[in-house]
Each structure stands twice: as C-alpha cells, then as structure tokens.
Structure 1
Amino acid sequence: MTDLHVPAGVPATRIMGLGHYRPANVITNDDLVARGVDTNDEWIRTRVGIAERRWADPDESVVDMGEQAASKALASSGVAAQDVDLVLVATCTMPTPVPAAAPQLASRLGIDAPGAFDVNSGCSGFVYALNIASAAVLTGQARHVLVVASERFSGWIDMTDRTTCIILGDGAGAAVVGPSATPGFGPVVWGSDGEQFDTVAIDERTRYFRQEGQAVYRWATGQMADVARAACERAEIAPEDIAAFVPHQANLRIIDSLAKRLGLPNAVVARDIVTSGNTSAATIPLALSRMVEAGEIASGAPVLVLGFGSGLAYAAQVVLAP
C-alpha cells in the first residue's frame, strides 16, 4: 500500500487583518417614506433600531464591494496578494448562481490561480467561511486565506413590504486568516434548524427577499444566547473576559436581548445595524472591522462573534482581534 503525502500544517491560526466597505449612498428612514413606503422614522427605530442603511449604486456589484473590503484587509494584514492561496466569499445575493464571486474577486486583486469558491449560509456565512479558512491553514492546504463577505440586498427588495425593505442594506467586510504561534480561534459552535428553513428566503416567484420576522425573532432570542455561551465555555473564556460581542446585525432588539442574557460586563456590543442596516453575511466583519479601526477593540482582545439567520443556520466562536 502506498502512503499519501500530507502537507505539514501549522500550530494555530489567527485573523491577521480586517477591512470593510459601505456604499456612499445613505438611505435614511425619511428617504424610505419619500419613496412611498408606508412607515415613519419612529416606527422603524422602535421595531428594528435602524436610523439609516447604505444601498449600492445601480452599477456597483457584490464583487465591487468585496474588492474594496478585501483590499483594506490585505493592506491591514501585511500579506501580499501572491501569498494568498485560497479566496472565500460568503454571499447570498449574487445576481446569478454561476459564476461565483470568489474567482472574479481573486482576479481583480491580482491573486494568481488560488482556490476560490463561495459560501452561502446567509447571515452565518462569514463565521462558517472563517472556519474553512482556518482549517485550510491548519492542515497545510493554504498559507493565507482571504475571507470576504459581501451582500447587495438592494437588488432583492420589495419596496411594498415595509417589514423587509426597512431592514436590508448593502456592504462588505473581509479578513485575512493565516498562521500563528498561539491560537487565535476558539472552537466553533455551529448547527442548524432545517425544519424552519423557509422562514428566511428569496421568494421563488417574485425574486424578492421575505422572512417571517416574528418566528425568526423568537428563535434568535430564545436559542442563540445558549449557542454563544457554549462558544465561550469551549474556548474557556469567562464572560467577564470578553472584550467585544459582535452578533449578526439583524435587529437592535435581538442584539440587546442577547447581550443582556449573556451578561458580558466588560464587552463593547456591536450596534452597527443603526447606521448600516442588515447586510446578512457582511454584518459581522463589517461591524468588527469598523470597531477595530475606531480603536474600540484592542489587538489580541477576545471577541465573541455570533452568526444566525437563513437556513436556519448558526455559528458562534471566540476569536482574537488582529
């Protein structure tokens, strides 16, 4: 029997750099009213906590936004394009299923012939992609991995549905994952509730985004705190040692409920939804990158991330800030 050669891995992995991008086009709550949406600023702020969101220009694509965020992440990490072996894009808003965003993005960035594919797990997609990236580096399959989450929901919005059009935004976030002498990722706690798969979806007939908001709210507030707490326990990090909590930016009421239930006394809580809206897979890296850039999270500080949404899939993990 012939033994197969297995490449040498590394002792641990970490996030080496972050980047983000938000389109210039700011859509306030009053702008939605002016567009004919049956709502008002107070109604939106009270129910979902959003003051404004960003929508891409008509000719600005998922790949365009991902390129902007990825360029910043590469610059922040100090990793050159030629040292990236794998590109992952977490997205659920490409205009067509084929081609994927990742090969296009890699080509634009000058990354020569990397492995490249998209990850579609909706709002938890970035955390899933982070773990694929970490595994690739740990096992010696890649030196560095570029992970990008980019979403353009403005192309999938039903402007007559005030329960969804007020929430959704466009944007991108990115991270570079590479080798480390000490662990920068705690164990991931992930799973799904496939019996409720249809509560968040793109309608097959209309091609518009839709969701059963109350069902998602009950599921998230009822179960996701336990998932996040399990991630802390598996990483052996006490709640008081968590420096930041960055959950999926679905709804400010969900975020505040989870933060209260978790009891993280020293953590700054991401509330990027107030000015960015819900950008699905992009919410976590977008919020995390902005917080690191603003100096709200110190390098090496433990951050609890929690993705949840369509599927219904979820993933939680403690990571160290770059």
Structure 2
Amino acid sequence: MTLAALPGPPGTRILGLGHYRPGNVVTNHDLIARGVDTDDEWIKSRVGIAERRWADPDESVVDMAEQAASKALAASGVSTDDIDLVLVATCTMVTQIPAAAPELASRLGIHAPGAYDVNSGCSGFVYALNAASAAVLTGQARNVLVVAAERFSGWLDMTDRSTCIILGDGAGAAVVGPSDTAGLGPVVWGSDGAQFDTVAIDAESRLFRQEGQAVYRWATGEMAPIGIEACKRAGLEPSDIVAFVPHQANLRIIDALARRINLPNAIIARDIVTSGNTSAATIPLALSRMVEAGEIPSGAPVLLLGFGSGLAYAAQVVLAP
C-alpha cells in the first residue's frame, strides 16, 4: 500500500513582515528610579541597552502578536482566507494552556487553521519559520503566519540587576508562502542539552533567571561556526550576506559573532539598543524594522541566527521580502 504524495511548490519565501513594540519606553534611568542597583554606563557597557519597551499591565502576549501579525499580513498581500496554519513562538504565556496561536487566529479572522505554539525560547522564531516552510513545501498549507511575541516584563526579578535590565516586550511576524525559487535556505539547528537550565523560569519564584557568563561563553564560542555553516548550505559565502540579524541577547555577543563569522558587507542588526532582549521576538522584530526603514533591499540575503534557552540554536539564510 502506498499513500498519496503531498505536492508542494519548488521553494518558499517570506512574503511580508510586521512588528510591534509597546508604547511604554523604559530607559536605564527609569530602572534606577525604580530602585535597581545599577547605572546607565554599567548597563550600556555590559549589554549595550539604552532603553527597552514594556507592555502595559493589561497588554498580553496575544495582544502584541495581533498587532505584528496584522502588519505582516498587510505587507504580504495575503488574505486571511489563504492562511492555513498559524504558528506562535513564545515562552512567556501566563499559562501553559491554552496556546496563543488559536486565539490569535480567531482574532485575525482566520477560519479553522492549524494552530500551535513553539517554545524554544530565543531561537523560537527560526524554528517556527522552518516548520512553516516545511508545511508549504509539502503541500500541507498554502501560506503560513509565523509570529514571535514575548512579554518578559511579567517575569522579572527587579532585585536581580543582571536580568531585569536586559529583557523587554514586543512581537515580530512573517507570512511564509510558495515561491518558484528558494527564498528560505536550509536550516542549521541543534542544542546543548547539558546546559538546559542556564536560562530558565525559576520553579519556586516563577521569575526569570540565567547564568549570564555561561551563556556568554557558549554563544561567543559556539555560534559563529553555525552561522558560517548556514551560509555554506545556502550556497553563499559570508561576504555575500547583506544583513546579519542574530538574536538580540547582548551587544557584545552580537559584535563578537559578526567579527568571527566575518561579514564584511553586512549591516548588523543592533535592535537591542532600543528594544532590549525580547527572546523569540528579537529576530523578526529587528528584521521587520530594518526592512521597513529601507536598510535591507528586497531579495537581499540575510543571515538569521537564534540561540539561547535550552540551549537550542538555529540559523539560516533568507531573502528579504
């Protein structure tokens, strides 16, 4: 017995992007005024952040996801009637059940799509992007809405200056659809599960914690070869990359990776300076803002590199919409 084949298109690509940042700007000086034992120069020298955005008390992960998704749909020109799957990358839902994706789909008027969440922390968007691409390539979806949204302001320990200064809230989204040629390169992904608990929500306090130095050493020591391999699998050299959009974890990590991958012609995303670390949302948020500002031309190859909790990672080259 054989099963029916699943016909799909030759390739997939990002058809449109969108992003959302809450209106509540929290500067380093605002944190000091709230009693955090730190100073502006220390924060900038350690992580490169000048300000971050925090959601209003009644603003949820799904609220932010809806804003970013609406913009991505508008930019893509794809009707909600033509979306067959909705994926939400997040690790900051208040409860584990229900997932964000079905609610988001309902709010957007997408009728009866497949819908599920992806929880891989800071690499979650790239993981979800590849799940979306696979669904289109195998003919199981015509178009897929991929959203990454995080609300870390509800999980912060304000007495821990090593974490509360870093994290922010926001969302980014992409519509993935069919293409006559490949617009999403092969993914390079993996994990170092021996260090799974270096980034976590503490079981007792229910607040975010991380072993910052361990994550820094891992990221700067292990992630550059992953980015280089993603370029290789896409049939490109690092010198062909027009933009590098890594997870916005720490400005020193971003700059170290850019040097070690050796990207002489690439503009480097440094969205962390004004958005903070928004985990899964950092990559699509930064990419969308750069495309909107005209910093990345349509069709340009962009290297995405997500890494963080798990410790999981994923990298790939995509063509800008």
Gaps of 5+ in 2: none
- Equivalent position amino acid for 2:114 in 1: G
* 1:267 corresponds to: 266
* 1:94 corresponds to: 93
Which string of whole-angstrom CA distances, capped at 9 and with x for unpartnered residues, describes residues 86-132 of structure 1? Answer: 00000000000000000000000000000000000000000000000
Partner Cα distance (2:313, 2:228) in 1? 13
Partner Cα distance (2:249, 2:116) in 1? 25
Partner Cα distance (1:86, 1:319) in 2? 20
Question: What is the DSSP-based 3-state SS (H/G/I as helix, E as strand, rest coil) of the residue aligned with 1:177?
Answer: strand
Q: Taking every aligned residue pair, what percent have the same amino acid on both sides? A: 81
* 1:12 corresponds to: 11
* 2:235 corresponds to: 236
- Equivalent position amino acid for 1:203 in 2: D
* 1:143 corresponds to: 142
* 1:204 corresponds to: 203
* 2:158 corresponds to: 159
* 1:315 corresponds to: 314
* 1:287 corresponds to: 286
For 1:69-80, list aligned pairs within 5 A.
69-80=68-79
Question: What is the DSSP-based 3-state SS (H/G/I as helix, E as strand, rest coil) of the residue aligned with 1:198?
Answer: coil
Partner Cα distance (2:249, 2:163) in 1? 11
- Equivalent position amino acid for 1:138 in 2: L
* 1:194 corresponds to: 193
Asked if 1:22 corresponds to 2:18, the answer is no
- Give the RMSD, CA atoms, in angstroms: 0.5
- Equivalent position amino acid for 2:306 in 1: G
TM-score (norm 2): 0.99
Partner Cα distance (2:176, 2:207) in 1? 34
Partner Cα distance (1:240, 1:196) in 2? 32
Partner Cα distance (2:175, 2:5) in 1? 24
* 1:127 corresponds to: 126
Runs (4+) of structure 1 exceeding 4 A deviation are: none
Which string of whole-angstrom CA distances, capped at 9 and with x for unpartnered residues, describes residues 39-82 of structure 1? Answer: 01000000000000000000000000000000000000000001
Partner Cα distance (2:155, 2:272) in 1? 19
- Equivalent position amino acid for 1:222 in 2: G
Partner Cα distance (2:124, 2:84) in 1? 20
Question: What is the DSSP-based 3-state SS (H/G/I as helix, E as strand, rest coil) of the residue aligned with 1:118?
Answer: strand
- Equivalent position amino acid for 2:309 in 1: S
- Displacement of 1:263 in angstroms is 1.1
Q: Tell which deviates more after alignment, 258-267 or 85-94.
A: 258-267
Which string of whole-angstrom CA distances, capped at 9 and with x for unpartnered residues, describes residues 147-172 of structure 1? Answer: 00000000000000000000000000
Question: What is the DSSP-based 3-state SS (H/G/I as helix, E as strand, rest coil) of the residue aligned with 1:250?
Answer: coil
- Displacement of 1:4 in angstroms is 2.2
Gaps of 5+ in 1: none
- Displacement of 1:7 in angstroms is 3.1
- Equivalent position amino acid for 2:276 in 1: G
What is the number of residues matched between the two proteins? 321
